[in-house]
Amino acid sequence: MSPILRYLLFAWESIIYGPAYGYLNQLIRVPEPLDHNRAWDLITEDWPPLVNWLRKHYPPTFMRKLLLRRILNQDHSLGIENHYDVSNEFFCQFLDKKYVAYSCADFIEDNDTLEDAQTRKFEHILSMLRPKAGEKILELGPGWGSMLNAVYAVTGDKENLVGYTLSQQQIEYNKTHGGFNVELRDFITTEYEKEGFDAIYAVAVWEHVRPSEVSMLLKKLYEALKPGGRLIQHFFCLTTDTVPISCLAGQLIFPGSQLSSHRFHVRAFEKAGFQIHQQTVHDYRPTIRAWFENLTSNRERAIEAAGVREYNRFIIAFAATWKFFDDGEANVYRFELRKPVAKTNLTDDQIRRSKTATAPL
């Protein structure tokens, strides 16, 4: 692609999707590997006030909603294929060596390695999940098997552990690296067996569930759990209900996905009938920076595995995502949700009469 055409595309995309989208895509299209340090600084540094205002306010909200509505008509499988089926070898160039985990780790100490931080993260999630041998456990979007391995290490029970994914490459990876039962299924649209699972968990996949799909999916997951069952969620969500510009720029990274606010999800969990037993907040920035450094350190192998464009796209994705969190537009949350053991069949009127009858004189 000629430089003139790239600049014309930059101008067109900036008018339609905003300067943030146009600028990031312009960098992704550079035909040679980016100078990663310069790219990081260009995206994460403080921009001039006018440029920063445009970055956060153009296009206006009504245009964002119209553009996203059109983009979100695509099938989920296209977005998953676009991001996750780039190359298993490519992802191995920047993910940790112990788990191959593509989710926020828990960095606490200054000398923590990525492996240390991922181990701490999985220990925390396992303390919420409390898996036991003999329990039927489902993972939504198992990635490269990081949590499957962590759960199996505790239970020793592979037969009752299953994962649903839309990534064909991840299915093959899980078969050859651990022999886990991972099925090609869209966990959003699939039909679940009623009370078929003791526990369900999702680590860094709920971001792909669109706002219009959340309530329907939670209803199905609630019914799929046995009474007393656990639903563990680890994902990042917006800090406000306003749709930020970053949701448009994010289509360059996760096409077909749209984030919702923390308040939106909490209300949806409660409306579905779940009890929130625990929620914690985590800082994604150290993990993103660690992945960035790993990828740039393994540049030649990464380019050999997936090509210059994908290398540049992930360089830009990590820098832009770090900026997204540094601006306070989103946080990573972990939720421990439970399905109550039993729900009362009393009507509101019966509950009021029961309270009146037992009230002290």
- How do strand 225-238 and strand 330-338 relate by DSSP bridges? antiparallel
Nearest-Å Rg of the Cα atoms of the chain is 22
67, 45, 71: which is closest to 58 by C-alpha? Answer: 67
For residues 246 and 324, give the distance between their C-alpha atoms in angstroms, rounded to a whole number.
7
162, 154, 156, 124: which is closest to 333 by C-alpha? Answer: 124
Instruction: Please report the DSSP string for 90-113 in residue order.
Output: HHHTTS-TTT---S-----STT--
For residues 238 and 262, give the distance between their C-alpha atoms in angstroms, rounded to a whole number.
6
Q: Which residue do the tokens 């919702």 mark?
A: 260
pLDDT of residue 352: 52
Contacts of 243 (CB under 8 A, 6+ apart): 61, 64, 65, 68, 258
Q: Per-residue pLDDT tens, the chain, 361 aa: give them.
A: 788 898 899 999 999 999 999 999 999 999 999 999 999 999 999 888 888 888 888 999 889 889 988 888 888 888 888 888 889 999 999 999 999 999 999 999 999 999 999 999 999 999 999 999 999 999 999 999 999 999 999 999 999 999 999 998 899 999 899 899 999 999 999 999 999 999 999 999 999 999 999 999 999 999 999 999 999 999 999 999 988 888 899 999 999 899 999 999 999 999 999 999 999 999 999 999 999 999 999 999 999 999 999 999 999 999 999 999 999 999 999 999 999 997 555 455 554 554 443 334 3
178, 186, 188, 141: which is closest to 158 by C-alpha? Answer: 178
Q: Please, are residues 28 and 309 in contact by the beta-carbon 8 Å criterion?
A: yes
The fold of the 76-306+329-338 domain, in CATH, is: Rossmann fold (3.40.50)
Note the pTM of the prediction, 2 decimals: 0.91
pLDDT by residue (tens digit) across 150-202? 999 999 999 999 999 999 889 999 989 989 999 999 999 999 999 999 999 99
pLDDT of residue 353: 52
**So where are the chain's domains?**
76-306+329-338
For residues 14 and 317, give the distance between their C-alpha atoms in angstroms, rounded to a whole number.
18
Instruction: Please report the DSSP string for 165-205 in residue order.
Output: ES-HHHHHHHHHTT--EEEE--TTT----TT-EEEEEEES-
pLDDT of residue 342: 73
Per residue, what are the HEC states of 139-150?
EECCCCCHHHHH
3-state secondary structure of 78: helix
For residues 124 and 128, give the distance between their C-alpha atoms in angstroms, rounded to a whole number.
7
Q: Please, are residues 10 and 22 in contact by the beta-carbon 8 Å criterion?
A: yes
pLDDT by residue (tens digit) across 233-273? 999 999 999 888 888 999 999 998 999 999 999 999 999 99
Backbone dihedral angles phi then psi of residue 334, each to the nearest 5 degrees:
-125, 130
Contacts of 345 (CB under 8 A, 6+ apart): none
